[in-house]
Structure 1
């Protein structure tokens, strides 16, 4: 008895492309190629994943996948739309849900299509629309290759904080605390100098982009420059810089929020960046895999001619 690549992918919760790679590398005993497909023993065991032994090895995998994606560029308008539309809805849902928004994924999709959800707060509707508009703005910044600056951050925050007009795009003037966090944000009078220092250190960093944005994200959230909307703005900034560097955007899932929160504590308590770096890298690896799989299925061997 044998199963197809698709059946094995569903059984092992891997992408079709990953299963084909495992077959080609001889990692699945008894699997053999038949025509353009693979025949996999029905009782085959999912191979151990040795790709993620260290964050450094994962970054190397990410870079190889990006190089492969670069051969498919430029993408057509249809491909860009396909890759962006579904992501935008899920990204808006997850980023808002992490901050307490009560809209479901389906409701978020409906709101972004212009519908109103009965018995859900106006605030939740405005947050969904605001996040979508902010992400659209981020994509414009990427297209124009606009450098990261305090003004850019404030512009993104202005769109994010759609429900608090007086606080949009301005640094907070009162102290705040983050419930349950192991780190206390800086006092208001320190926000400006700390933001200037953060922008300078980010610009001078020679680290891998994933390491760079992981460090920036934690430091930005530690400063907590705005009265509200710091998390959503910070995650948009991560994607702004990833996309400018040629990588796809990532979507930190609501279901992974505890790992996300723990990554902040790991840094502030133990000065350990690896937790956030690895979290970002895993998401980025999955996104690259999705891009490559879709382009392989729908575009064949493109050789960068489009």
Structure 2
């Protein structure tokens, strides 16, 4: 397993950078389900995932959508960074594709199964229905072709992964190759429901195994994402590749920048967590104006080690003043 991690991994494992992984986990579970219409806000997602509390007055289905996605994302990160003994070293297997979908969709299915599904089309099982053409005209393959095309897609992913790892020319930029693979999965549409969520989870499984950070497509990018997917349906992977590249860059900074940034360099709060200050405590201090921090357009609060040290000093001085 160490050899597989060395081959595919380059990111710190969750034990080494737990706060950063947890922050990405919250963001991904929130935004990826929001792309599909889930209305939980980020603080409700955090309460659900961190303490199991259903804050707000949303439907059970929505809470279960987030919980299922979060469970699947945690499985993805675990398998990507520390594979189980049964893993055979391949970049992706068809069993993992089905497992991701099963984990993500089972909590929803338990309370609200798809109305058209047969008993053989539950979570993790390929569809046995044809899908109507999408609004832009793309039509997924007829259902008898799904199993074979899904396996062919997995083989394509593995070949692409080997070429990426070896530095071989892909014939297109790396991010456009990733966009092509992601789009191809969505065009196959192997499951009767949950293909968007499963596709983004599987993309992150592949990325992390290749040593890249997982991506989060923000809910505010929904129209841009759908338009980019439509362009990719026609063979133009540029816009989707750019979205993936920006998301990779943002999360790469969470892992890398804190280790090379000077004390005044702004980094996400998740990178500044220590034994004294949790992520929640830093965020609360930033929101109250006690910690010198800024909130970006992506909703992420950023500060610096210097600012946290100043906040720590002021907090200790106030505490001593009360004694």
Q: Tell me the TM-score normalised to structure 2 length.
A: 0.65
Q: Which moved more, 1:126-135 or 1:75-84?
A: 75-84
Q: How does 1:129-144 map to 2 (within 5 A)?
A: 129-142=67-80, 143-144=82-83
State which of 114, 118, 122 in structure 1 corresponds to 2:52.
Answer: 114
Alignment partner of 1:156 is 2:100: yes
Alignment partner of 1:105 is 2:42: yes
The CA RMSD measured in Å over matched residues stands at: 2.4
What secondary structure does 2:43 align onto?
A: helix
Note the C-alpha offset of 1:90. Answer: 0.9
Distance in 1, matches of 2:63 and 2:13, equals 32
What secondary structure does 1:116 align onto?
A: coil
In the superposition, relative to structure 1, how do residues 94 and 77 fare at CA in structure 2: closer, same or farther (>3 Å)? closer
Note the C-alpha offset of 1:275. Answer: 1.3
State which of 7, 11, 21 in structure 2 corresponds to 1:84.
Answer: 21
Note the C-alpha offset of 1:298. Answer: 8.6
In the superposition, relative to structure 1, how do residues 75 and 189 fare at CA in structure 2: closer, same or farther (>3 Å)? closer
Distance in 1, matches of 2:152 and 2:132, equals 22
For residues 9-39 of structure 1, the C-alpha deviation after alignment (integer angstroms, 9 at most, x for no partner) is xxxxxxxxxxxxxxxxxxxxxxxxxxxxxxx
Q: Which has the higher contact order (CA 8 A, sep 6+)?
A: 1
Report what 1:225 is aligned to: 190
Q: How does 1:1-306 map to 2 (within 5 A)?
A: 75=12, 79-112=16-49, 113-142=51-80, 143-144=82-83, 147-161=91-105, 162-165=107-110, 167-177=122-132, 179-205=134-160, 206=163, 207=170, 209-269=174-234, 271-297=235-261
CA contact (8 A) 2:11 2:212 kept: no
Question: Hey, which bits of structure 1, 4+ residues long, moved more than 4 A?
Answer: 73-79, 297-300
Unmatched tracts of structure 1, length 5 or more? 1-69, 301-306
What secondary structure does 1:90 align onto?
A: helix
What secondary structure does 1:232 align onto?
A: helix
CA contact (8 A) 2:91 2:157 kept: no
Note the C-alpha offset of 1:201. Answer: 2.3
Distance in 2, matches of 1:76 and 1:157, equals 23
What secondary structure does 2:247 align onto?
A: helix
Instruction: Give the length in aligned residue pairs.
Output: 228
Q: Which moved more, 1:116-125 or 1:92-101?
A: 116-125
CA contact (8 A) 1:209 1:245 kept: no
What secondary structure does 2:55 align onto?
A: coil
Note the C-alpha offset of 1:210. Answer: 3.0
CA contact (8 A) 2:139 2:187 kept: yes
CA contact (8 A) 1:102 1:124 kept: yes
In the superposition, relative to structure 1, how do residues 175 and 299 fare at CA in structure 2: closer, same or farther (>3 Å)? farther
Unmatched tracts of structure 2, length 5 or more? 1-8, 84-88, 111-118, 164-169, 265-323
In the superposition, relative to structure 1, how do residues 125 and 149 fare at CA in structure 2: closer, same or farther (>3 Å)? same
What secondary structure does 1:102 align onto?
A: coil
Report what 1:5 is aligned to: none
